[in-house]
Structure 1
Amino acid sequence: MALPVLADSLQRYLSEVNAYPLLSAKEELTIAERYWNERKVEDAHTLVTSNLRYVIKVAMEFSRYGAKLADLIQEGNMGLMIAVKKFDPTKGFRLITYATWWIKAQIQDYIVKTKGLVRNGSKAMKKALFYKQDKTETGDANAKTITLAADMSLDTTLGDSTTTHLDLLKEEGPNQEELLGEQEEATVVSKGVSLAIQDLNDRERLIITERVMADEPQSLQAIGVTLGLTRERVRQIETAALKKLKDALGTRDAVVGALPSGA
């Protein structure tokens, strides 16, 4: 059972995606519970296609990192299918709330691998920077017409392997608590922070790396000596850089609360 094909233009793909109805919370719960118990491909297809609009929206948010939008959408769709396979509807929240992490993780992993971004920093700060973001609601993407070429089908194989997208849906998996455990959480956080830091200038990046990301943060005074700046000026740059990161990652006060207090 095929998904819409990315071909010709994003506008055409959007029109095909928009042909699939959005599900109400009640409809989604009924289908998700049935899929959780019976594992019928038809139900998985319905859950996936009803959320394809959201994948486009997320992919467009990450397109500024230079990757092809078609590739990002394909990666996001894979993340959505993994989420559908593993989603436990008895936990009491909507599918897209859970799927958001898989969609973003899949896209971020692709960007990190293709762009060679460096991942560093303490896990605690990465969690503070990334995991306190606002919940994102499902919505339509406002898009330009862009030439694309990709084939997304549940029967399509993944790279050179014999595994298909359908296999991702069929596999049994652990529950949400296991999936969002320490290892996976740290991976998603690391990639998100790595991407956000690339938008800082050299001085901001150095300050954030040494003051916030390091396991043993330097003081404002020490960094000031390195850069030839006053302690107060370093603090001002740090504050501005943190605001950029919070804006990029959608965080609030978690970053400020995790800052070192050394002078």
Structure 2
Amino acid sequence: MVNKKKKPNIIKENKNLPVPASSLEKYLAEISNYKILTKEEEMKYALDYRETGNVESARKLITSNLKFVVKIAVEYQNYGLNIMDIIQEGNLGLMKAITKFDPTKRYRLISYGVWWIRAYIQNFIMKNWSLIKIGTTQAQRKLFYKIRSAKNKYDDGNLTREEYYGKLSSDLKVSIKEIREMDMRMSGKDFSLDDEVREGETQTKIEFLESGDKSQEDITISNEKSNSLKEGLEKAFAILNEREKYIVEKRLLSDDQETLENIGKKFDISRERVRQIEKGAINKIRKILISMDIKADF
């Protein structure tokens, strides 16, 4: 029986990677020096790392995709957080993806890695925004991400508050009441969940939230459930063709959702055909998740 060599921690081993500095331009200039790997080169380094744990091969995979991480990170720059911190979290997601990546599945690393990059960035945002701002239910968390993107489209000072809410409501397909409530959450003053509920009381705000009802379970998804979902999505994504992957990414994973019309133009197909492909891809993903006894929440 062959004993597999334990892989080193690539996050610790790659301490000398470029770290997002005080200037985005400076960081971009630094990472622009790294070569983008061909599919064949990526396969070679990925197999080497998977089979031997070669840190240098992992480093090649990381540096080749740093520019892609930035591309994803800038989509989240309107959350009031430092863009360099967001990029760094995305880089950690990329490293995690490399440790899980199976090059024998024949799809590109970044097609798989985008799930981990977004997961790490979104988790970072969730940790740094008040739970009161984000909300406690899954629907509220989805609205939180969508409204941040849509606000820039309409919040130009030329609309009344109600007209502004109406535009967002129509765009995001949710009620004006939900828009109004989320806008109030997001504009409210943040506070520490370790603060006392009232001056002189010993119960903290986090304890107060936890003692209410089951809604606290919606705030922090258990690691076990989260890992199962990621595993299911990995398997599901592996069976999609390149066009399906693109549509799923642009329609379901991106904060700035691409229209059916734009995707149709890219592939020279009708809007309805794009809709059909999207529906088919979702069904494929759902079947995989259901087969793994994972609730398909879309």
TM-score, normalized by length of structure 2?
0.46
Checking the alignment, whether the CA contact within 8 Å between 2:20 and 2:85 is kept in structure 1 is no
Give, as a single letter, the amino acid of the residue that structure 2 aligns with 1:249.
Answer: Q
The 2-side partners of 1:90 and 1:79 are apart by 21
In the TM superposition, residue 78 of structure 1 has moved relative to its aligned partner by 0.5
Give, as a single letter, the amino acid of the residue that structure 2 aligns with 1:195.
Answer: Y
In the TM superposition, residue 98 of structure 1 has moved relative to its aligned partner by 0.5
The 2-side partners of 1:37 and 1:13 are apart by 32
Change (3 A) 1:247 1:104: closer
Give the count of matched residue pairs.
159
In structure 1, the residue matched to 2:50 is 36
The 2-side partners of 1:52 and 1:246 are apart by 18
In the TM superposition, residue 18 of structure 1 has moved relative to its aligned partner by 1.3
In structure 1, the residue matched to 2:75 is 61
In structure 2, the residue matched to 1:84 is 98
Measured against aligned partners, the alpha-carbon deviations of 1:137-189 in whole angstroms (never above 9, x if no partner) come to: xxxxxxxxxxxxxxxxxxxxxxxxxxxxxxxxxxxxxxxxxxxxxxxxxxxxx
In the TM superposition, residue 19 of structure 1 has moved relative to its aligned partner by 1.4
In structure 2, the residue matched to 1:181 is none
Give, as a single letter, the amino acid of the residue that structure 2 aligns with 1:70.
Answer: M
In structure 2, the residue matched to 1:195 is 145
- Point out the structure with the larger helix share: 2
Runs of 4+ with deviation above 2 angstroms: 5-8, 118-122, 190-194, 197-211, 245-254
Change (3 A) 1:85 1:24: same
Superposed counterparts of 1:132-171, under 5 Å: none
Superposed counterparts of 1:234-249, under 5 Å: 248-249=256-257
The 2-side partners of 1:246 and 1:104 are apart by 9
Checking the alignment, whether the CA contact within 8 Å between 2:46 and 2:61 is kept in structure 1 is yes
In structure 2, the residue matched to 1:250 is 258
In the TM superposition, residue 210 of structure 1 has moved relative to its aligned partner by 5.8
Checking the alignment, whether the CA contact within 8 Å between 1:120 and 1:194 is kept in structure 2 is no
| Structure 1 segments unaligned to the other structure (5+ residues) | 123-189, 214-242, 259-263
1:118 aligns with 2:135: yes
Return the match for 1:75 from 63, 76, 89.
89
Checking the alignment, whether the CA contact within 8 Å between 1:33 and 1:89 is kept in structure 2 is yes
**RMSD, aligned CA:** 3.4
Change (3 A) 1:246 1:44: closer
TM-score, normalized by length of structure 1?
0.52
In structure 1, the residue matched to 2:37 is 23
| Structure 2 segments unaligned to the other structure (5+ residues) | 1-13, 152-163, 179-250, 261-274, 283-298
Query: Percent identity between the aligned chains?
Result: 38
In the TM superposition, residue 40 of structure 1 has moved relative to its aligned partner by 1.1
Checking the alignment, whether the CA contact within 8 Å between 1:32 and 1:43 is kept in structure 2 is yes
The 2-side partners of 1:102 and 1:246 are apart by 13
In structure 2, the residue matched to 1:226 is none
